[in-house]
Amino acid sequence: IDESEKFRIEYWALEEAKLARMPKPKPLATRIALVTGAASGIGKAIAQRLAAEGACVVIADLDPAKAQEAAAEIGGPDVAVGVGADVSDADAVKASIDAAVLAFGGLDLVVNNAGMSISKPLLETTEADWDRQHDVMAKGSFLVSREAARVLIEQGLGGDIVYIASKNAIFAGPNNIAYSAVKADQAHQVRLLAAELGEHGIKVNGINPDGVVQGSGIFAGGWGAKRAAVYGVEEKDLGKFYAQRTLLKREVLPEHVANAVFVLCSPDLTHTTGLHVPVDAGVAAAFLR
């Protein structure tokens, strides 16, 4: 055989050896997860679902007392631990990753869920609004992913990073320039990190929820009232109103987003990375008015 054929054979032998060393995804029951913003709403439902599957969960949220309360509700200290962390603060992020490693011995799965919404029209959006929105969600998820990736790469066991982005990452709506722009940033972080971390067996995927009214602090904190006023419905009926607008005629609840995290991180879904899964009962699939 000539030199180029020899090179080709050696090249593929090395590639195959590399593939054989690639970690196989671990079952959820053996995983250690960090979920940011999991003291309420969607994040709490995700933490609950992961714990129900047998995973150990660290809940990182702004208020340590609320994080600990949610952890206690989910299970004892062998199952869930709550830590206070502002995800826009690099030291706090590192401390919460360290807390996961210290409490449970490692890290396998991270959910970038922490969020808030400054939803204003363009002309009312201040620089401070823009900065805070981007600090919490663009910088925050970057910091969490970076610190988590350090641990995941060092462990050499692969892992999952999931972003809770939004339908707004793709589709425009009026009066929330800062929030929607930052969701688009998160969606691109998914693709960028999928490209960079794939060779370590780390999958990075996103979920785009829409209209999760029940349990959501974002909706209860003013966004719901604003949307209800736009649609001319009572705020308490907003969930049902959204349901009518979906293709499936179903209200989206926090646990439906948690189900998608479960599927994306299931050891059966071995070859899916850089994907965005809508959890919106079909809103993004059609032009609905």
Out of 39, 79, 118, 277, which residue is the one contacting ligand NAD (CB under 6 A)?
A: 39
- Where would I find the beta strands (DSSP E) of the chain? 32-36, 56-61, 80-84, 109-112, 159-164, 202-209, 276-279
Would you count residue 211 as binding ligand NAD (CB under 6 A)?
yes
Least CB distance to ligand NAD at residue 2 (A): 57
d(CA 208, CA 282): 11
Q: Is 210 in the site for ligand NAD (CB under 6 A)?
A: yes
**Please, are residues 31 and 109 in contact by the beta-carbon 8 Å criterion?**
yes
How many C-beta atoms surround the C-beta of residue 84 within 10 A? 18
CA distance 120 to 118: 6
Which DSSP state fits 40?
S
Q: How far is the CB of 208 from ligand NAD (least distance, A)?
A: 7
Residues in contact with ligand NAD, shown as a per-residue x/- string from 157 to 186 under the rule CB under 6 A: -------x-x--------------------
Show the site string, 55-84: x = touches ligand NAD by CB under 6 A, - = not: ------xx----------------------
CB atoms near residue 129 (< 10 Å): 16
Q: Report the distance separating Cα 260 and Cα 242, nearest Å.
A: 20
Assess 201 for contact with ligand NAD (CB under 6 A): no
For residues 9 and 285, which CB has a smaller minimum distance to ligand NAD in the complex?
Answer: 285
Kindly tell me which of 218 and 265 has the beta carbon lying closer to ligand NAD.
218
Sequence length of the chain is 289
Taking CB under 6 A as the criterion, the residue among 83, 100, 212, 253 binding ligand NAD is 212
Asked if residue 83 lies in contact with residue 99, where contact means CB atoms within 8 angstroms, the answer is yes
User: Is residue 179 annotated as part of the catalytic site, yes or no?
Assistant: yes
Q: Which positions lie near ligand NAD, rule CB under 6 A?
A: 36-37, 39-43, 61-62, 85-88, 113-116, 136, 140, 164, 166, 209-212, 216-219
